[in-house]
Amino acid sequence: MLMIMTMNIARGSCFHRLARWGIGKRQVIGLDSRAFHGMNGSMIEISDVVTQAIKNNEPVVALESTIITHGMPYPANLETALKVENVIKAKGAVPATIGIIKGRVHVGLTADQLELLATMREPCLKTSRRDLPYVLSKKINGGTTVSGTMLVAAKVGIPIFVTGGIGGVHRGAEESFDISADLTELGRTPVAVVSSGVKSILDIGKTLEYLETQGVCVATLGSNNDFPAFFTPSSGFQAPYRLETTTDAARMIHQSLAFDTGSGMLIAVPIPESSQADGETIERAIRAALTLADQQNIRGRDVTPFVLSQVNRLTSGASLTANRALIEHNAAIGAAIAVDLARLRQSP
């Protein structure tokens, strides 16, 4: 049994089916040569630095790109994307921002590629799991959501992913059925997501219930079990678990991979007190933004980006400032977890 567990860990749990081979300067990775090379040529391009880090079991942190393409305005989106990468590097881990350029999935986007996505000079789709086949086949650009990014991170063997907030069950979901694919992805893909919980544009209680149904282990990393509401450290709801340190978080991820649960985890990191936005102001702005969304008949994947931009407008940029601060903080925490996890993998 010990041997099986060791093998699973060494191979990155369910990633044992992966085969790797070098193509020119970069590495292409896939389930088998037909699936990834087949008719469309290579489909995932991993930067050299990220390839080396994965191969050597060094700490790597995946990052999403919808936050760049649809989550923040230019140039704050680009500045944040670059800053977050630097925070991760400073903590001794390798950042791997994931996105799609001309129908090719990139793991470890270059600064030029980040800029291309940030300025949306070409059509660029918000890409969750369900959008992937279309974006790839049309060879267009895509910002990967939490669900899209998790899917890719798992395929290439990156078990830790940092973002600001994940999608969830929308308010009024009992009518609209609007439940983010991020939640089902967390149920089916073995990647730990570090985020500041979910925004209160969503129904946080229902989101936690849904995560439980999906079998997702949710834990707050902090001084109490309060589940954070993105802009504020507590939502009024409790996470089932609390972790005291990044090493505790790394242990949990390590065990989940070793046991091959196949499920993701959500590590909720409260926004630091110093960056916290005024809860009342945010709440008012969210209510106004949701009413506007309804009046303008905004539906489906357009809801989250619309509400985010309206809340930013209605708070005169205060929400964006808090958003940037918390994602930088999450990046530092996520990188520390990745460093601890790499250490555990070397000597469990």
Is residue 91 at the binding interface for ligand PSU, with CB under 6 A as the rule?
no
Closest approach of ligand PSU to the CB of residue 104, in Å: 20
Catalytic residue among 58, 64, 185, 328: 64
Tokens 């191969």, located at residue: 55
Determine which residue in the list 129, 199, 206, 329 makes contact with ligand PSU, applying CB under 6 A: 199
The Cα–Cα gap between 10 and 188 comes to 21
Active site residue 126: no
The Cα–Cα gap between 18 and 152 comes to 12
Is residue 182 at the binding interface for ligand PSU, with CB under 6 A as the rule?
yes
Determine which residue in the list 304, 310, 312, 315 makes contact with ligand PSU, applying CB under 6 A: 304
Is residue 108 at the binding interface for ligand PSU, with CB under 6 A as the rule?
no
Structure tokens at 259: 């046991």
Other CB atoms within 10 A of residue 139 CB: 12
Q: Where are the alpha helices (DSSP H) in 69-172?
A: 76-90, 111-119, 132-138, 146-156
Nearest to 63 by CA among 146, 132, 181, 162: 162
Nearest to 69 by CA among 144, 178, 169: 144
Query: Residue numbers of the site for Mn ion (CB under 5 A)?
Result: 178
Amino acid identity, position 41: G
Under rule CB under 6 A, which residues in 59-78 are in contact with ligand PSU?
A: 64, 66-67, 71
In the list ligand PSU, Mn ion, none, the entry touching 165 (Cβ below 5 to 8 angstroms by class) is ligand PSU
Nearer to ligand PSU, 33 or 213 (CB): 213
Active site residue 64: yes
Under rule CB under 6 A, which residues in 147-166 are in contact with ligand PSU?
A: 164-166
Nearest to 198 by CA among 187, 214, 213, 209: 209
Structure tokens at 197: 């919980």
Q: What is the DSSP letter of 280?
A: H
Closest approach of ligand PSU to the CB of residue 304, in Å: 4
Closest approach of ligand PSU to the CB of residue 299, in Å: 10
State the catalytic residues.
64, 199
Interface residue list for ligand PSU (CB under 6 A): 64, 66-67, 71, 145-146, 164-167, 180-182, 199, 301, 304, 308
